[in-house]
Amino acid sequence: MIPNAYLIFEDESFLDSTVAKMNALRKSGQFCDVRLQVCGHELMAHRAVLACCSPYLFEIFNSDIEPHGVSHVTFEDLDPEAVEILLNYAYTAQLKADKELVKEVYSAAKRFKMERVKQICGDYLLSKMDSQNAISFRNFASSMGDVRVLAKVDAFIQDHLLEVSEQEDFLKLPRLKLEVMLEDNLTLPSNGKLYSKVLNWVQRSLWENGDHLERLMEEVQTLYYSPDHKLVDGGLVIDGHSEVFGGEEDHLQFVQKKPVRESTQRQMSCSSSGSLSPSNQAANDPKQTARREWKYIASEKTTNNTYLCLAVLDGVLCVIFLHGRNSPQTSPSSTPCLMKSLSFEAPPEELEEHPLSPMHYARSGLGTAALNGRLIAAGGYNREECLRTVECYDPKEDSWTFIAPMRTPRARFQMAVLMGQLYVIGGSNGHSDELSCGESYDPHADEWTQIPELRTNRCNAGVCSLNNKLYVVGGSDPCGQKGLKNCDAFDPVNKTWSNCASLNIRRHQAAVCELDGFMYVIGGAESWNCLNTVERYNPENNTWTLIAPMNVARRGAAVAVHAGKLFVVGGFDGSHALRCVEVYDPARNEWRMLGSMTSSRSNAGVAMLGETIYAVGGFDGNEFLNSMEMYNPETDEWNDCAQALSALSE
């Protein structure tokens, strides 16, 4: 027996038991002395527990003039579920939140000054980041003022800018288009130095000239890269505000454009969902403007004279497109000449190997269809803008010509032929949310006519004709993060929409087509996860049935029908644009792989002309494409050369 010894006992279950009992007391409202009013929801808790976990609530409780009464704390801008999750954490030290609530939990933790929870939520979001949600994550981190998370998101974007630039969130960002004129003996500096000069030019335009960021984005801005390596405003005499001097060698020299003060005094309103509002609030206050973020994030040189950049201008996340030109030629936003490209004399054996004629525009997320023996390619994105132009390919001439443009710029849509007319519906115009409007094209009148709108805005939906009706299937929800199960049918005679049975699985960016009186919906994505599942719709009993899945999960694929089979082309598997092709035989209910394309293509278009499948446009993981290639089912080969076209016609 040791004299004066202590009795030492450690109850390992006490802490867990006590914590559980205290949390049970909180949930039943017993002994609670604080009420949190969160958007109309009342949450009871114990002041001492919350004060230990939240420095923010500690400050409130510590300054309470009635410390022994029941405190009431009101929050009108927090999510009640997120606050409940934080209360559970305060009592149990366990953080458990559904992935859709993590941002709300982060926001609540920021208010409560619970730094450890903020860090855990931030790390979780970073672990889920990919090229599709990087812009959304950056906007969130910026709104939260989280420098640590923001730096990691920007580092990711720097490494994956081209992949990020193909995504919906990126394509909806405000865009500034610059055309930079160069002296013959000058070249543009490297990306980083170039865009530091661009940011300086934008700042001068806002602060010295009194411009608004919105006005700068309304049209292509012509700049001049001076011999002393500065970017200054430039223009031609025809704009009425610039002077041009001719030298002895009869070349053009650009001087600084005179600001149009009267046009910049009015307060501009943002036409694309208010994304430029930070500039609106501070445009007339240089000191306030200076405090807003100006940051170059990432850039890529996409061609010899074209640059793509993501930057923060005056607190607004923006895309900057820059073209370097040696002489003041046609603006990059103008419609190209319809004449065929000039050719040159060459021996026949060399001419045989030239590629199939490319489209005038690179297009991704375009609508394609076969009409009267020709391939129609409409709309789409080309990284600079969302297009409304429509091109027509004649395989006999291997040439593209323009037909009447659509009434609305759109991409991320599909096109179908119904009763001899083209139909397009929904999609995105690159600025606002998804579209609900649709239009039809009459090839005899060469004009587009508006049709009744969908009940809801919809992007990335599948479209096909079946039994003299136009069907619109699936698509993205208003936030663009979940697929839809909706299916709607349009009657072109009565001009009315009606509901059909819903899909079994939510889908957006699915390939859709008709075969033997059935409609097939192939692949797509449920949220961000690519699908290999396939559903078939029977209009006789208004039901959807799951059939054999594809070998490869893919979204943004295209589909063509030939010889009673479905040919699914390209797409995106979640990490890469695909070249692979597979075919479905409904008689056997099975898929098998075919020969791969010459190029990877996601969000491309396909059409069947005669016995040949044509694939056109899309995104290859690095560039938006204007090229095309064709597939010969007899040889199971893809070819992008005009020689193969000649062989097929013989």
3-class state of residue 558 by DSSP: strand
β-strand pairing of 252-254 with 637-639: unpaired
pLDDT of residue 22: 78
CB 511 within 8 A of CB 559: yes
- pLDDT bin (cut points 50, 70, 90) of residue 269 is very low
Least confident residue range of 86-100, 397-411, 579-593: 86-100
- pLDDT bin (cut points 50, 70, 90) of residue 186 is low
Mean pLDDT of 48-72: 77
pLDDT of residue 31: 82
Least confident residue range of 63-67, 342-346, 348-352: 342-346
How many C-beta atoms lie closer than 10 Å to residue 432's C-beta?
A: 13
Question: Helices (DSSP H) in 128-218: which residue ranges?
Answer: 134-144, 147-159, 161-164, 168-171, 191-207, 213-216
Mean pLDDT of 262-272: 33
3-class state of residue 180 by DSSP: strand
CA dihedral 127, 133, 136, 138 (to 10 degrees): 50
CA distances (Å), origin 428, targets 383, 458, 470? 14, 8, 19
Higher pLDDT, 69 or 246: 69
- pLDDT bin (cut points 50, 70, 90) of residue 255 is very low
Kindly report, residue by residue over 168-183, the tens digit of the pLDDT: 888 889 999 888 887 7
Kindly report, residue by residue over 535-555, the tens digit of the pLDDT: 999 999 999 999 999 999 999
User: Mean pLDDT for the chain?
Assistant: 81
CA distances (Å), origin 528, targets 282, 481, 553, 619? 37, 7, 12, 18
Tokens of 291: 């405090």
Higher pLDDT, 483 or 587: 587
- pLDDT bin (cut points 50, 70, 90) of residue 281 is very low
CA distances (Å), origin 165, targets 155, 298, 370, 391, 472? 15, 11, 29, 24, 27
Kindly report, residue by residue over 633-646, the tens digit of the pLDDT: 988 999 988 766 65
- pLDDT bin (cut points 50, 70, 90) of residue 90 is confident
Mean pLDDT of 286-306: 71
Tokens of 351: 């001419």
CA distances (Å), origin 500, targets 308, 472, 637? 43, 10, 39
Rounded Cα distance between 478 and 218, Å, is: 26
Mean pLDDT of 470-488: 84
Rounded Cα distance between 275 and 107, Å, is: 21
pLDDT of residue 352: 46
CB 631 within 8 A of CB 615: yes
pLDDT of residue 452: 94
β-strand pairing of 438-442 with 295-303: unpaired
Rounded Cα distance between 268 and 218, Å, is: 11
Mean pLDDT of 422-438: 85
What is the CA 330 to chain-centroid distance, rounded? 28
Q: 16-38: buried (b, 16+ CB within 10 Å) or exposed (e) per residue?
A: eeeeeebbebbbeeeebbbebeb
Mean pLDDT of 449-468: 92
- pLDDT bin (cut points 50, 70, 90) of residue 498 is very high
Rounded Cα distance between 148 and 154, Å, is: 10
Rounded Cα distance between 122 and 274, Å, is: 27
The answer to whether residue 69 scores a pLDDT higher than 70 is no
CB 135 within 8 A of CB 237: no
- First-to-last C-alpha distance (Å) of the chain: 110
Mean pLDDT of 287-312: 76
The answer to whether residue 278 scores a pLDDT higher than 70 is no
**Highest mean predicted confidence (pLDDT) among 54-63, 69-78, 247-256, 337-346:** 54-63
The answer to whether residue 137 scores a pLDDT higher than 50 is yes
pLDDT of residue 258: 34
Least confident residue range of 55-64, 93-102, 355-364, 469-478: 55-64
Ramachandran class of 113: left when φ > 0, alpha when ψ lies in -120 to 50, beta otherwise? left
Mean pLDDT of 1-20: 69
- Cβ contacts of residue 644 below 8 Å, gap of 6+? 630, 632
- pLDDT bin (cut points 50, 70, 90) of residue 345 is very low
- pLDDT bin (cut points 50, 70, 90) of residue 275 is very low
What is the CA 261 to chain-centroid distance, rounded? 35
Question: Helices (DSSP H) in 300-347: which residue ranges?
Answer: none
**Highest mean predicted confidence (pLDDT) among 299-303, 333-337, 631-635:** 631-635
Handedness of CA 417, 421, 426, 432 (dihedral sign): positive
Amino acid at 566: L
* Domains contained in the chain, CATH given: 14-128 (3.30.710.10), 173-244+251-259+276-325 (no CATH), 355-649 (2.120.10.80)
pLDDT of residue 646: 56
Per 3-state DSSP, what percentage of the chain is helix, strand, and coil (rounded to 5)?
25, 30, 45
Least confident residue range of 16-25, 115-124, 194-203, 325-334: 325-334
Q: What percent of the chain has pLDDT over 70?
A: 81
Q: Which regions of 496-635 does DSSP assign to beta strands (E)?
A: 496-499, 511-515, 518-522, 534-538, 543-547, 558-562, 565-569, 581-585, 590-594, 605-609, 612-616, 628-632
